[in-house]
Chains A and B, each alone.
Chain A
Amino acid sequence: MSMTALLAAPDRVVPRTVTLRVFRWSPGERERSQTYEVAAGADSTVLDALVEIQRRQDPTLAFRYACRVGMCGSCAMVVNGRERWACRTRLVTLGDAVDVRPLYHFPLLRDLVVDMAPFVARMQAVGAALVPAPGAPGYAQVPGDGAERRGIDPAIECIGCGMCVSACTMVAHNPRFPGPAALNRAFTLQLDPRDAGRDDRWRALTSDDALWRCHGQGNCTAVCPMGLAPTTSIARLRRMATRRLFGLA
């Protein structure tokens, strides 16, 4: 099957040629950018183009993906200057020249692949697991439209893609800052009535390097592919922390 046939839906517009400028780097080499041309149909995504390059033009091009469909958060990268998920970004939205580079603020491993271990470490640092209260019942009766649930719901869909960390200027400035994803996770737990680990988490959150460091620029919220608002979660955590400081919570 031809490349064109692979990428284009059968009854859509004629494929056009898209030029991808891809960041390349391997340990011991100098970084460079390499240009590839790919035929793109109306529905082709950035991931389709990268897979096409890897399979037929350059099997050494390294990038991550797993689910192909926006569920796992593996294929985050910076496309035309902005963090995006490659699998859900259609080429037609990007113009004829597409610039692809790896996420910022993570150690680079090769080409578009970065080391995500710091992402897990940041989660651990704030205490990402719910701590069940001793003697708690098998499960809590939580009404679906209860206040806690309404508060948590918009924040629990994080797929751990790392785009918010890449977009956050404070992460670059202070390596001890937990970053938007971890703070957002902490927010869902600090509001969860079933959790008994709040005091420990507050200690981490109100340290010099956490909540108070956020400048509220909202870059994390702007790039989140799931539409979450870590900026809002952080702001609410700050209000809760302030009330707690004054003995109001």
Chain B
Amino acid sequence: MATTQYETHEHDVIIIGAGGAGLRAAVEAAAQGVSVGLICKSLLGKAHTVMAEGGIAAAMGNVYPEDNWRVHFRDTMRGGKMLNNWRMAQIHAQESPERVLELERWGALFDRTKDGRILQRDFGGHRYARLAHVGDRTGLEMIRTLQYHAIHQTIDVYMECTITRLLKDGERVCGAFGYWRNTGKFVVFKAKAIVLATGGMGKCWKFCTNSWEGTGDGVTLALDAGAELIDMECYQFHPTGMVWPVSVRGILVTEGVRGDGGTLKNSKGERFMFKYIPEFFKAETADTEAEADRWYEDKKNNRRTPDLLPRDEVARAINSEVKAGRGSPHGGVFLDIASRRPADYIRKRLPSMCHQFKELADVDITKEPMEVGPTAHYMNGGVRVDADTAGTAVPGLFAAGEVAGGLHGANRLGGNSLSDLVVFGRRAGLYAALYVKNLGGTVTVDAGQLEACAREALAPLERPGGENPYAIQTELQETMQALVGIIRTESELREAVVRIEQYKQRLQKVGVTGGREYNPGWHTALDLYALLTVSEAVARAALDRKESRGGHTRDDHPKPDPKLGAVNVVVRRRQGEMATALEAIPAMPADLKGLFEEKK
């Protein structure tokens, strides 16, 4: 049997990705008594989750007793412009409080109210203060808690291992093929079930908040294995990233700055967000500065500030201000908390932001405004999954966290990502384990598939005179930034598809030197396939959605179209080619529908 040729590990369930979703899935699967392998591209604990800042959304009602899962559900759906998988949004809102408490049982310690309960902070699109947090380093606390918990369970961890292909036994998955980053040697994981928890694809754009890992691997693995993608066009641009220094352009500035009182201003000093309140949110948004300011102290009798409109609205507004010539010196707008809150308060609530701006830009945010602008942030769409089980269209393949689509619809609310990770990470781990227990017989790995994987991965090393992979990566990022950014049009999207096709041709000729041991050039050459695949999926899906909705804005179709609001754009691989289709979203049951008619 050919598997003997490569180092081979066998598990009931393997989990690819060790951020919040992957760790939570691993812990759950292990608790079910199946054998679990956890594979991650980075070192354990360095996944992008560690960069999450503001908090984890859960309707615990600690600050506002009026809050409950129904309000959270409603906020999530409205924020997602009703494109969400309503069942996912329901499960998410119902289960996130328990997942937060569970993190505390495993050692996390969130910030506290005066009487010792978990404190919750305001964020965009959430009706009530809802985000449990640890200063502005919530992701660090979450990943550290899960990581320390996980390494004391019976889970085999495979660090710095990149998976290049999923293996199939007929229709179902049977394992994965990859390489060790440090030695470059190949490794095969035999498994009856696979959980994808690989995060997003921010690295397709020139300016993004993501760590280096966000190269769209999981989406590509799933697509090639026969799974479907949805809502890929609805990529989220976060309104506030750093705009300078150039080398850190795109790095996240947490929405918590605005939640804690910061306001957006243009070069004339105007709080411009009041000009950009959409009809959909007029009833619940303050239309004067005085009311907006009162809202921070008294949320019952005032409407929320437009600075905290959902992210898609704020990103578009900043984009318009800069285009109209009212931007800041480095091409963003100003975010001012210094003139509105005492220095001690800012240091206590936003320690990372203080540190980050001081060290990288020499800006003291307790004294001066920050300069911020939109940056590629989050994949709202992703692999299509069953809401309850996190299962994909491929038997044995599950997906959770950013790699999975559906929960967030056309636009994600801040704080709903960390809760997504633990709610659906747990479910993916649970249902993967149950799938394994119900599966009769064994799975067989086909030698021919392994040979094809190895040949494909070694090809760049056999072309030492070929093109530098970084050149293609850089050009792709420029193209996505220019043509598939916040504001899109048909002609530019078509141009992007043409260019991506050319990059795919050039990828066949890339070459690297320097052997297989920890060779970053080779790693980049292999990552490019995923980067190009997901970029193409976004561009093609964006062409099909001829309207503006959430993270997807079409200059040539500036309004939402109710007909398109009832469908997902679905991407599949058909005989090697990418194909898109519009498919109806299942109707929402009456009891959930009713929640949108009540005032509260």
> Which chain A residues have a beta carbon within 8 Å of chain B's beta carbons?
6-11, 26-27, 41, 43-45, 47-48, 54-56, 59-74, 88, 90, 109-111, 113, 115-117, 120, 123-124, 127-130, 132, 136, 138-144, 146, 149, 152, 156-160, 185, 189, 192, 194-195
Contacts and interface: CB of A to CB of B under 8 A. Distances in A.
A108 to B, nearest CB: 10
Interface in B102-118: 104-107, 109, 111-118
Given A109-B517, A124-B151, 13 more contacts: A7-B246, A26-B514, A45-B247, A56-B470, A59-B520, A62-B518, A62-B520, A68-B248, A120-B159, A142-B116, A156-B141, A160-B45, A192-B109
B148 interface: yes
A138, A140, A146 — most chain B CB neighbours (10 Å)? A138
Given A59-B470, A144-B112, A192-B107, A64 B101 contact: no
Given A41-B245, A60-B519, A110-B518, A130 B112 contact: no
Given A8-B246, A66-B46, A69-B356, A129 B517 contact: no
B182 A7 contact: no
Contact of B521 (A60, A69, A140, A157): A60
Nearest to A227: B355
A88 B359 contact: yes
B104 A140 contact: yes
Contacts of A132: 105-106
A10 B515 CA distance: 38
B212 interface: yes
Given A43-B360, A141-B115, A127 B152 contact: yes
A129 B153 CA distance: 10
B144 A158 contact: yes
A136 B105 contact: yes
A60 B513 contact: yes
6 contacts: A59-B524, A68-B247, A72-B42, A116-B159, A120-B44, A143-B112
Given A59-B512, A67-B51, A11 B182 contact: no
A139 B104 contact: yes
B481 interface: no
B514 A130 contact: no
A88 B329 CA distance: 24
B68 interface: no
A72 B46 contact: yes
Interface of A is mostly: loop
A163 to B, nearest CB: 14
Given A123-B151, A128-B151, A129-B148, A9 B245 contact: yes
Nearest to B469: A59
Contacts of A185: 148
A185 B107 CA distance: 12
Nearest to A144: B112
Nearest to B108: A130
Interface of B: 42-46, 48, 50-51, 101, 104-107, 109, 111-119, 137, 139-141, 144-145, 148-149, 151-152, 157, 159, 182, 211-213, 244-248, 251, 329-330, 352, 355-356, 359-362, 468-470, 474, 512-515, 517-521, 524
Contacts of A123: 148, 151
B247 A44 contact: yes
B46 A130 contact: no
B263 to A, nearest CB: 24
B101 A138 contact: yes
Nearest to B110: A139
Nearest to B478: A1
A117 B524 CA distance: 24
B251 A68 contact: yes
B517 A27 contact: yes
Contact of B359 (A70, A110, A140, A160): A70
Contacts of A113: 182, 518
B105 A138 contact: yes
A116 B147 CA distance: 15
A60 B520 contact: yes
B149 A129 contact: yes
Contact of B248 (A69, A73, A140, A195): A69
A71 B352 contact: yes
Contacts of A62: 517-520
In order of increasing CB-CB distance, the 10 nearest A-B pairs are: A130-B107, A59-B521, A60-B514, A141-B116, A43-B245, A144-B112, A110-B518, A66-B211, A139-B104, A129-B152
B47 to A, nearest CB: 8
B214 to A, nearest CB: 10
A109 B106 contact: no
Contacts of B512: 59-60
A60 to B, nearest CB: 3
